[in-house]
Amino acid sequence: MPDSHRVALLTLLILCAAAVSPGEPVLEYPVRLLDAYDADGSCWRGMDADGVWRGPGSQAGTSVVPQDWLVGPPPSPLSAVTIPEDHWVNLAFSGQIIDGEGTDILLLESGTMGEQALVFLTDGEDQEYVVAMVEAEWTNLQETSRIEIDLSDSPAPFVVRGVRIVGADFGGASPGFDLQSVQANVTHDCGPKARYPNPPGGTGDVEPDVLLTWVPACTSGGQRVYCSLAESQVRSAAADALRATLPSDANSLRAPLELGRTYYWRVDSAATTDANFFYPGDTWSFTTANHITVDDFQTYPDDGSLQNAWKSWGWSDVYLGADSQTCDASLNFGHRYDAVSWPYVLHVFDGPQDWMQAGEKVLQILLRGNAPDPADGEMYIALTDGIVGQMVPYAGPMIIGSEGRWYAWHIALTDFNTIDLTHVRAMAIGIRPKSDLGDRSPEGIISVTDISLYPTLRLEDRRPRADLNGDWTVDSRDLERMAADWLRTRVRSYAVVEPNGPVLSYTFDGHANDSAGTAHGQVRGRATYAPGVYDQAIRLAYPGDAVTVTDAASAFAGIRDAISIAFWQYGDDSSHLNDTVCCSNYEYGKSNPAISINLGCWRNPGQYRWDCGSPWSIDNRLAGRHGDKKEWTGRWNHWVFTKDARSGPDGRKGRMEIWLNGELYDSRTGADSPITNITSFEIGDGWYGRYDGLIDDFRIYDYALSPAEVAWVATNSTGTIEDTTASPADLDASDRVDLGDFAILATQWLEDATWPR
């Protein structure tokens, strides 16, 4: 299906959903892919429209695009996206997912071979709630498993807008959980103000010509839509942010936007008794995609369609290529030329293309293969607006020939200064030979993929050293990061006090015995032992690896109002947003754990979740996102998680804390539920999925440790911690964040690192 037709279909689905009678739930398909994580960094694989898993061997598979396969109705009843253990997809719906009559979430899985996946409800942003571990049937037949989830026993503590599905094993022939489609029971009931924004709040990679939709307030005399890059303008209803004044029943607005920008928007509702008085709506946000794809060659079937779209001229031919590792499809341009022959491929667009509408400034083309020798010829790109044509030759060093990697060719659109870039009709890629070739006719093959338009590019060699948070701008956020590490040195000293003895203690020195009592651990799976912080640590690396606490009910009998859990951790990349380090008893969809510690990181900082209290609730959760990947991977970290449900010295009740390497990392109050109903406990597996990495010196105390006691445990009584990694704010490598680093930051303040300027 062409992209334009798919966008039109999805738009129709959104509008139809928004027009449903208030309160009437509908089993619908997702309207947006919020996130798709491929931990291998390779590609997504699955079944094509004919249900075929192509290629040699079970690891091959058909390259698929999760957005096209899972958003809206599936391409066919046979198509599927394979989700191995280290993958997930996060899908958003047009309204609120609710508990209705019968099935509330319906998953179709290709195959009945016991494949497993975790299912989370999400608010479309950062909150999630795990509701089920689902499993396909066990018949060893390649048939469809119909998996139904009833939410009657799983009330989520937030407005549910999405479903996240995390692969939990490598079962099946594909291998992994082969997701054909997802449907959810969705309501679009109105409220006192506009609700259910699409895109959902916090969404990224939004198309710049997005159709904004919402469900209007139940009663309204009209609506005003505000949208701006400045959140303050939207919150204050500034005139500059007003995009449209609409009737009370309007539910959509198309708002042309720029690439790679974060926008804020809201819908205000006029009083029915006074059309000049507007009730303010909630402020939502989304971020537009950072590029527009001209052609990535992913949608051409291997049936000659590519040759019809990209016609070869001269001594040239065109055929479809694919990278077996990354699944990047490509146009392979075979060429031969002499002094008079110009081989090229030409693509005529279906209609005029506006290459200026969303702030585009750069044309990027990824290349690899046999580039022409500069002495023989030069590669070029040509564009035409139907009246004038212009050629831009390749200007950089021709280094695409030998490495086998993709090389980015960047062309500033200002180089095409004689044509109308709002009316691009065709483009060509070709070779212009030199006139002194004699009787020689060089030849080769160049692969082309991912022809895209960008607003500006952030080239690594232009990145300021003082950009501490990775946003390519040196501003107040980098200053805040420097201030947090001000005068920080690698070696830090703390006051220490020896704590009372723990009620549980596992040194993991070649065994899982409890050195504080008799609740010896039972090691499951293929867990092994490796060098740790002190002697040895337990290594948990495979599904099923865990340590089960024997007679957990007795071990936790004296813990009700307060607890501390301390351990050393050296984790590998998480298989999803976070992994369960330890957890008390739970049953998916029925009962949640009274204790759960979840940490996680993948290519970028992930989430942490400290749950403690019975019954489970958001009010008894301390959660957030890791500030840096080093908090999870690449080194040993000491964590302490505490809770005291009683009133503290400041009069505040129910304090929870997280300590990282002897320093307070996060805290909250108001978490006053007791710690009860613990009948089982395990380390290395649980509610959010298994932990992958090392654990050493795991202890549980029956009270909340003080800062000095935390330091004692974290430093083995010495009070000294040496941080093996330098602070990113130590710009002058002096092992101390001070005025020298501030001087470097000041010289790069608001430095523009983008190209072209």
- The answer to whether residue 569 scores a pLDDT higher than 60 is yes
Between 58 and 135, the more confident residue is 135
Q: Give the pLDDT score at 651.
A: 75
- The answer to whether residue 314 scores a pLDDT higher than 70 is yes
- The answer to whether residue 103 scores a pLDDT higher than 70 is yes
In which band, very low, low, confident or very high, does the pLDDT at 21 lie, cut at 50, 70 and 90? Answer: very low
Question: For the chain, how many helices (H) and strands (E)?
Answer: 8, 52
d(CA 707, CA 579): 26
| Ranges 2-11, 49-58, 331-340: which has the least confidence | 2-11
Residues of the chain with CATH 2.60.40: 195-277
Instruction: For residue 504, give every residue at least 6 positions away whose Cβ sits within 8 Å of its Cβ, in sequence order, or none.
Output: 514, 516, 517, 519, 549, 555, 698, 699, 700
Global pTM reads 0.85
Q: Could you write out the DSSP letters of every residue in 154-176?
A: ---SS---EEEEEE----TTTTS
In which band, very low, low, confident or very high, does the pLDDT at 57 lie, cut at 50, 70 and 90? Answer: very low
Residues 86-101 have a mean pLDDT of 91
| Most confident of the ranges 16-25, 311-320, 596-605 | 311-320
In which band, very low, low, confident or very high, does the pLDDT at 241 lie, cut at 50, 70 and 90? Answer: very high
Residues of the chain with CATH 2.60.120.260: 3-187, 292-454
> Is the CB of residue 167 less than 8 Å from the CB of residue 87?
yes
CATH 2.60.120.260 for domain 3-187: yes
Residue from 16, 47, 56, 67 nearest 111 by CA: 47
Residue type, 502: P
Q: Give the pLDDT score at 3.
A: 43
Q: Give the pLDDT score at 585.
A: 95
- The answer to whether residue 39 scores a pLDDT higher than 90 is no
- The answer to whether residue 2 scores a pLDDT higher than 50 is no
Instruction: For residue 315, give every residue at least 6 positions away whose Cβ sits within 8 Å of its Cβ, in sequence order, or none.
Output: 335, 336, 337, 341, 343, 441, 443
| Most confident of the ranges 139-148, 324-333, 400-409, 449-458 | 449-458
- Could you tell me the CATH superfamily of domain 465-489+727-755? Dockerin domain (1.10.1330.10)
- The answer to whether residue 130 scores a pLDDT higher than 90 is yes
Residue type, 321: G
Residues of the chain with CATH 2.60.120.200: 492-722
In which band, very low, low, confident or very high, does the pLDDT at 183 lie, cut at 50, 70 and 90? Answer: very high
- The answer to whether residue 60 scores a pLDDT higher than 80 is no
Pick the CATH number of 492-722 from 3.30.465.10, 3.90.550.10, 2.60.120.200, 3.40.640.10: 2.60.120.200
Q: Give the pLDDT score at 10.
A: 39
Q: Give the pLDDT score at 327.
A: 67
Q: What integer best gives the mean pLDDT of the chain?
A: 88
- The answer to whether residue 334 scores a pLDDT higher than 70 is yes
Q: Give the pLDDT score at 41.
A: 66
Q: Give the pLDDT score at 404.
A: 65
The token pair at 89 is 């997809």
d(CA 322, CA 344): 21
Residues 156-173 have a mean pLDDT of 86
Q: How far is CA 383 from the centre of its chain?
A: 36
- The answer to whether residue 6 scores a pLDDT higher than 50 is no
In which band, very low, low, confident or very high, does the pLDDT at 575 lie, cut at 50, 70 and 90? Answer: low
In which band, very low, low, confident or very high, does the pLDDT at 325 lie, cut at 50, 70 and 90? Answer: low
> Is the CB of residue 547 less than 8 Å from the CB of residue 539?
no
Residue range 644-663, pLDDT digits in tens: 999 877 778 899 999 999 99
- The answer to whether residue 490 scores a pLDDT higher than 80 is no
Residues 587-599 have a mean pLDDT of 93
> Is the CB of residue 675 less than 8 Å from the CB of residue 555?
no
In which band, very low, low, confident or very high, does the pLDDT at 4 lie, cut at 50, 70 and 90? Answer: very low
Instruction: For residue 336, give every residue at least 6 positions away whose Cβ sits within 8 Å of its Cβ, in sequence order, or none.
Output: 315, 316, 343, 441, 442, 443
Between 631 and 219, the more confident residue is 219
Q: Give the pLDDT score at 396.
A: 62
- The answer to whether residue 13 scores a pLDDT higher than 50 is no
Q: Give the pLDDT score at 19.
A: 41
Residue range 706-750, pLDDT digits in tens: 999 999 999 999 999 887 677 888 999 888 899 999 999 999 998
Q: Give the pLDDT score at 157.
A: 86
Looking at the domain 292-454, which fold is it? Jelly Rolls (2.60.120)
- The answer to whether residue 285 scores a pLDDT higher than 90 is yes
In which band, very low, low, confident or very high, does the pLDDT at 11 lie, cut at 50, 70 and 90? Answer: very low
Q: Are strands 284-288 and 203-206 parallel, antiparallel or unpaired?
A: parallel
Residue range 428-481, pLDDT digits in tens: 999 998 878 878 888 888 899 899 999 988 777 778 889 887 777 898 888 988
Percentage of the chain beyond pLDDT 70 is: 91
Residues of the chain with CATH 1.10.1330.10: 465-489+727-755
Residues 278-293 have a mean pLDDT of 95
Residues 528-538 have a mean pLDDT of 96
- The answer to whether residue 525 scores a pLDDT higher than 70 is yes
Residues 78-86 have a mean pLDDT of 89
> Is the CB of residue 225 less than 8 Å from the CB of residue 218?
no
Q: How far is CA 602 from the centre of its chain?
A: 9
> Is the CB of residue 286 less than 8 Å from the CB of residue 203?
yes
d(CA 688, CA 668): 22
CATH of domain 195-277: 2.60.40
SS (H, E, C) 731-747: CCCCCECCHHHHHHHHH
